[in-house]
Amino acid sequence: MNAHRGSAVLSSATFKVQPSATGLTDNHRLRLFSGSANIQLSQEVARYVGMDLGPMIRKRFADGELYVQIQESIRGCDVYLIQPCCQPVNDHLMELLIMVDACRRASARQVTAVIPYYGYARADRKTAGRESITAKLVANLITEAGANRVLAMDLHSAQIQGYFDIPFDHVYGSPVLLDYLASKELPDLVVVSPDVGGVARARAFAKKLNDAPLAIIDKRRHAHNVAEVLNIIGDVKGKTAVLVDDMIDTGGTIAEGARLLREEGARQVYACATHAVFSPPAMERLSSGLFEEVIVTNTIPIPENNRFPQLVVLSVANILGETIWRIHEDTSVSSMFR
């Protein structure tokens, strides 16, 4: 495996897929377009599908307003718009909505919003009075803009799928993470959930790693982006601990978890997450020497100033590309992950 650290990204996912039974031939109606959020990932997806990204003009007016124009006919076509809602979240979300509206008004047969990272996913419920459920609001905006279907990866909360009244395909980045970890043949492995809410994710991860044992970090959160780690449930002494989460934002939770694992005798600590949000001061926390490696995917582009020697970035382009083909050909998506 060509695993690279720091600034490098794997050119293609190691996730193995099989061509659909009908063959990858009916592409005269298929069109792929990319927003500005992660053009490199979109190009990798297009290469997997065997197409070029469609031509599109994107610009910003002097007052900050966004402009999008599709530069080819898409009348009667199945259009897939690839745009993670990462930083700056509001700009990228608005750009996605404008792209959807432009495609709908251009008489596309079906518009699918491909959202590798779903912004506002953590605002999925009310935890106090007078709060917005912003994840639901985003779902309403995408639907009202004219999307016919949504494809997203590793939602922070699976219930977000229920916020949509249109078809929703939810796929996972775990196959590329698991394949990479399996290739390292780490000894005495224990999978660690950074909190109680992530136990189901960590348990599924551990099962795929030859039923590795599971440990859980018990924590209390007193404010947004602030967590206090209390103790570990499970045996980690002398083991190689793999912390598994859906995203790493400021890195506070996972860094405190790694520090506690070290104190409890873990021999090595790895961190795995699909989405590398990496808000400050994540880089300082993750590169502090607590981790052997921090393994993430390229759902979100990582700028040069957020890269560090322990970082390993894996590509999920093959998973997204195969999913797009299966949606286009009306074949099973869930069978990819069995």
Active site residues: 219
Q: Which residues, other chains included, contact 121 with Cβ-Cβ below 8 Å and sequence gap of 6+?
A: 135, 155, 156, 157, 160
Half-sphere exposure of 24 (CA within 13 A, CB side): 13
Distance CA 200, CA 243 (A): 13
What number of other Cβ atoms are within 10 A of residue 166's Cβ?
Answer: 14
- Burial of 161: CB neighbours in 10 Å, binned 0-12, 13-18, 19+: middle
Q: Point out which residues pair with 269 in neighbouring strands.
A: 241
Q: Which two tokens stand for residue 167?
A: 């078809």
Determine contact, residues 266/240, Cβ cutoff 8 Å.
yes
Between strands 56-60 and 66-70, the pairing is antiparallel
- The continuous run of DSSP H or E covering 294 comes out as strand 293-297
* Residue spans of alpha helices (H) in the chain: 39-49, 89-105, 134-145, 174-184, 199-208, 252-263, 282-286, 317-328
What number of other Cβ atoms are within 10 A of residue 211's Cβ?
Answer: 9
